[in-house]
Amino acid sequence: MNPIFPSILSTKFFDLESRLSEFASNHIDFIHLDVMDGHFVDNISFGPATIPAIRSKFNFKFDSHLMVSNADKMIPRYIESGSDWISFHVEIKNHIQENIKTIKAHNRSAGLVVNPDTRIEAVFPFLERIDYVLLMSVFPGYGGQKFIKSTLDKVKKLRDQIDQSGSQCLIQVDGGIDDTNISELKKAGADLFVVGTFLYNSPRIKDTVDMILKKINGA
């Protein structure tokens, strides 16, 4: 599985098809879909119909990052629309177990998302039941923000906890990732990297994908 998960939040809509074709020809497997409801974050982005629409032309897998207050209601919608992976925020607090069960019951991968100002211990009780933790290295809502350096310590702490507990949970990081921080993230123990602006706006996607993979594999 290619560890680079391009976020298409910075989409310039008329470039979307050409960007997706370049991702496909550069062996990208997953698209990271940033779903925003205008309530959990003050921005609105992609609805569930985005997945079948892109699937009508490309066979990417989808990793839907639900920045939504009403995850109970939205998770079934993204299951129905065919999202392969679905993550939701631990900050929503209620029905976390039930939401994980719903995702797993439909044979999808379940992830919990942790904001920069939430302690990483908040997800420890769920590590046996989820497939990945998405650590936000920016405050959710917008692409193109600056990487928050303290995320590296959270990655290390989570890595230790996963290794000690014997869980198979993967660590995904999201926000402000570029060539200046990706090697450190990999060294800290991250497995998967959501890259938006740095990749999406690159003049030569192939070179940028190759460079990122070199940094990940070389770390």
d(CA 24, CA 180) in angstroms, rounded, equals 25
Q: Give yes or no for residue 19 binding ligand DX5 (CB under 6 A).
A: no
Q: Give yes or no for residue 3 binding ligand DX5 (CB under 6 A).
A: no
Task: Note if 84 is an active site residue.
Answer: no
Q: Which does 176 bind (CB under 5 to 8 A by kind): Zn ion, ligand DX5, none?
A: ligand DX5
d(CA 178, CA 10) in angstroms, rounded, equals 15
Reading phi first (left if > 0) and then psi (alpha if -120 to 50, else beta), residue 27 is in: left
Q: Which residues pair with 171 in a beta bridge?
A: 133
Q: Give yes or no for residue 63 binding Zn ion (CB under 5 A).
A: no
Q: Which residues pair with 113 in a beta bridge?
A: 89, 134
Per the CB < 8 A criterion, the answer to whether 167 and 132 are in contact is: no
Give the residue, chosen from 22, 63, 84, 174, that forms a contact with Zn ion under the rule CB under 5 A: 174
d(CA 38, CA 156) in angstroms, rounded, equals 32
Give the residue, chosen from 26, 64, 87, 197, that forms a contact with ligand DX5 under the rule CB under 6 A: 197
d(CA 155, CA 135) in angstroms, rounded, equals 8
Give the residue, chosen from 3, 4, 7, 51, that forms a contact with ligand DX5 under the rule CB under 6 A: 7
Quick one: 135 or 169, whose CB is closer to Zn ion? Answer: 135
Reduced to 3 states (helix: H, G, I; strand: E, B; else coil), residue 147 is coil
In the complex, minimum distance from the CB of residue 75 to ligand DX5, in angstroms, rounded to a whole number: 17
What is residue 121's DSSP assignment? G
Give the residue, chosen from 22, 63, 131, 174, that forms a contact with ligand DX5 under the rule CB under 6 A: 174
Q: Give yes or no for residue 37 binding Zn ion (CB under 5 A).
A: no
d(CA 119, CA 106) in angstroms, rounded, equals 29
Q: Give yes or no for residue 50 binding ligand DX5 (CB under 6 A).
A: no
Two structure tokens written together for 11 = 């989409």
Task: Note if 163 is an active site residue.
Answer: no
Q: Which stretch binds ligand DX5 (CB under 6 A): 78-86, 88-96, 101-109, 141-149?
A: 141-149
Quick one: 12 or 166, whose CB is closer to ligand DX5? Answer: 12
Catalog residues that contact ligand DX5 under the rule CB under 6 A: 7, 9-10, 32, 34, 65, 138, 140-141, 143-145, 174-177, 194-198
Looking at the annotation, which residues are catalytic? 34, 174
